[in-house]
Amino acid sequence: MKIPGLLVLTAATALAQPALEINKTTSPPAWALLERELLKQSSLACDRFANKYLDARGYLLHTPRWGTLDGPDDAIETFYNWTLLHALGGSDSVLAHYKKALEGHLLQYKEMRTVKTKLAANGAYHKEFITQSDWFHTGEGIRAFMFLGLSDPTDPTLRLRMKRFAGLYMNEDPEAPNYDPVHKVIKSIWTGSKGPMLHKATSYDWVGDPVPGTFHLLHGKQGRGGMVDLMSVYDKMLAHCDEYLDSVGDHPLNLASTGLALNAYMLTGEKKYKDWVLEYVGAWKQRTDANGGNIPTNIGLNGQPGGEYGGKWYKGTYGWNFTVYDGEIDQMAHRNTFDAGSWPGFGNAYLVSKGDPGFVATLRKQMENLYAQKKVINGKTMLPNGYGDPRGHKFTGGKEEWYNYTPNLFTNRLLEIYLWSLDPKDRQNLPADPWLSFLDGKDAAYPERALRQELETVRHKMAEIQSDDTSADTRLADYLMGFNPAATDALSKLTLGSYLTGNIWTLHARVRYFDPVRRRSGLPDDVAALVEGFTADTVSVRLVNVSSVEAREVSVQAGAYGEHQILSASVGGKTINVNGPAVKVRLAPGAGDRLELRVKRYANEPTLRQPWDN
């Protein structure tokens, strides 16, 4: 008899993955209950947010404007981690809300028009991709889309879009010749579905048209969240970008575009996408290595570092030497973004190359160069965040030099290097960190503490949402970003063994979970997981079924994209050979135990296929 709604596991399904059973009952630990509660409350909070701030069409209730200060990238960035929340085990409604918001966003900003700049004269999107922008902002707006394949890899619309978007940077669209395959450069810092900008930008390109009205402005001294007449500060907004006008030539920000080709490869398996990632990042690696390990912030159209600046590799908008006068805040500002695209791009190449250590070595050398210049100033260790000949900077000996020493020690980049290499030598460079201390067995209270903190964040965001009495005509695109209640940082670390910074749009993780009964990504109902430790060839995960009534099944995959191979899996004294990317575990009601995996890292091609489709 077939019971409606019941998925019967056939023999073929059962044989698809090696399986283990956990029958040892245990009182659910606090971290497991908190983990399940965080997934629940974060999902419910997203429901409330969507119900309040999205209309029936999926339009975000705000006043749309073109620009990088409060434009289209900020509007959709509001949902930046909703797809990740679903992939972790959040509710299906979270994924549905994001999809609705994405489709609404594309229509809402397609309808927008500009007069001061041609970039959005016919809408901000063409062929569903931004017309032209820099990858600092394009990347912010596309973060959730980059993770959509984690949850819905068979969605035909996702596949079509990802292939089309990747093709924009592989010269597959004659309207968008962004890439030069001869010199292996993306031709401008401004790229998109309308191709590269091969002339100087204007302040209007960056800022957009003025919009009449009084808004809760979040940027600039004149705003900081207060109600401001936009027309009265528009000249200040333009002044913010007075020196952002150099556009021609490649920039390390463009390395973030490799996430499109990576996802297209993992969705389709078509080799051309992998080849392009390795070709483009490989060219950047070669130039960086030849430049003494310093990542150039301008590659000329001739393919040479500093090619648009007489060989000065540190020049360019958002470059090492990008010390500018910001007229919006009336002061000098240092805005070097050498790492914002290079770490994502080199990480993508590391993934598709099946762990070629050369890509990590280049990033490591850049950090070594910075640390070789460290100084102790007023008792604090500081590193330079700039290089070159900035305006107002007094040279020593009249030559270019390192400058702008700050307490920013780039610990996030050092941690990423370590988690990719898992080389103990890279670990030695890291300062004390509570998550790493937990993994070392030195801070057992960390998981509970981190989860409680995240729950408190969700409660705080919900209080803000409930008390928010603003109207759509007083909100610009960036206003609602601070209300996003999706909490994923602690869950990513604790359940996946993954560390995500603000602009890494690829999920580098030790493990990922799937529900083989409901056939969806994420932890199944009632299942909690805690990565307790890992080495280069082992992963230790504690699994708990907090339900005292229902048995649960979970598939545990090595790597976010099955890039690692599980050689064997052990639990409760039983070991089975796996020799595949995933193992299935059945947890009896109220059961929990430690799952030990022996793995071979980067043994497989990364894929977004789910375990039952491998």
pLDDT in tens, 129-171: 999 999 999 999 999 999 999 999 999 999 999 999 999 999 9
Question: Residue 436 above 50 pLDDT?
Answer: yes
Question: Residue 223 above 80 pLDDT?
Answer: no
2 pLDDT band (50/70/90 cuts)? very low
Nearest to 102 by CA among 43, 146, 45: 146
What is the residue type of 11?
A
Residues 149-158 as b/e (b if ≥16 CB within 10 A, e otherwise) read bbbbbeeeeb
> How far is it, in rounded angstroms, from Cα 10 to Cα 312?
64
Q: For the chain, how many structural domains are there in total?
A: 1
Q: How far is CA 443 from CA 24, 347, 434, 451, 532, in A?
A: 25, 29, 7, 14, 11
DSSP state of 6: P
**C-alpha 154: how far from chain center:** 21
Nearest to 438 by CA among 488, 492, 493: 493
Specify if 577 maps to a domain.
yes
31 pLDDT band (50/70/90 cuts)? very high
Q: What is the pLDDT of residue 15?
A: 44
Nearest to 484 by CA among 63, 76, 78: 78
Q: How far is CA 254 from CA 175, 265, 499, 508, 597, in A?
A: 19, 18, 22, 20, 37
393 pLDDT band (50/70/90 cuts)? low
Q: What's the pLDDT tens digit per position in 545-561?
A: 999 999 999 999 999 99
Q: What is the pLDDT of residue 400?
A: 86
Q: How far is CA 264 from CA 137, 146, 482, 533, in A?
A: 21, 10, 31, 32
Question: Residue 8 above 60 pLDDT?
Answer: no
Q: Which two tokens stand for residue 371?
A: 């640390």
3-class SS at 512?
strand
Question: Residue 397 above 60 pLDDT?
Answer: no
Half-sphere exposure of 73 (CA within 13 A, CB side): 19
5 pLDDT band (50/70/90 cuts)? very low
DSSP state of 210: -
Q: What percent of the chain has pLDDT over 70?
A: 95
Contact 495, 529 (CB under 8 A): yes
| Mean pLDDT for all residues in the chain | 94
Q: What is the pLDDT of residue 221?
A: 66
Q: What's the pLDDT tens digit per position in 332-378?
A: 889 999 999 999 999 999 999 999 999 999 999 999 999 999 999 99
Question: Residue 564 above 60 pLDDT?
Answer: yes
Specify if 563 maps to a domain.
yes
Q: What is the pLDDT of residue 503?
A: 73
Looking at residues 597-608, what average pLDDT do you find? 98
Which of 322-326, 367-371, 500-504 has maximum average pLDDT? 367-371
Q: What is the pLDDT of residue 501?
A: 72
Question: 582-587 and 19-22: which strand pairing?
Answer: parallel
Q: What is the pLDDT of residue 6?
A: 27
15 vs 472: which has the higher pLDDT: 472
Looking at residues 500-526, what average pLDDT do you find? 93
pTM: 0.95
Specify if 595 maps to a domain.
yes
Ramachandran quadrant class, 390 (left: phi over 0; alpha: psi -120 to 50; beta: rest): beta
Q: What's the pLDDT tens digit per position in 456-466?
A: 999 999 999 99
1 pLDDT band (50/70/90 cuts)? very low
Specify if 137 maps to a domain.
no
Specify if 496 maps to a domain.
no
Q: What is the pLDDT of residue 453?
A: 98
Domain CATH number, residue 566: 2.60.40.1180
Specify if 60 maps to a domain.
no
| Structural domain range at position 544 | 11-28+510-613
Nearest to 77 by CA among 134, 130, 137, 119: 137
Looking at residues 516-536, what average pLDDT do you find? 98
What is the residue type of 497?
G
**Phi (first) and psi of residue 298, to 5 degrees:** -150, 125
DSSP state of 14: H
Specify if 505 maps to a domain.
no
3-class SS at 64?
coil
Specify if 365 maps to a domain.
no
Nearest to 556 by CA among 528, 588, 536: 528
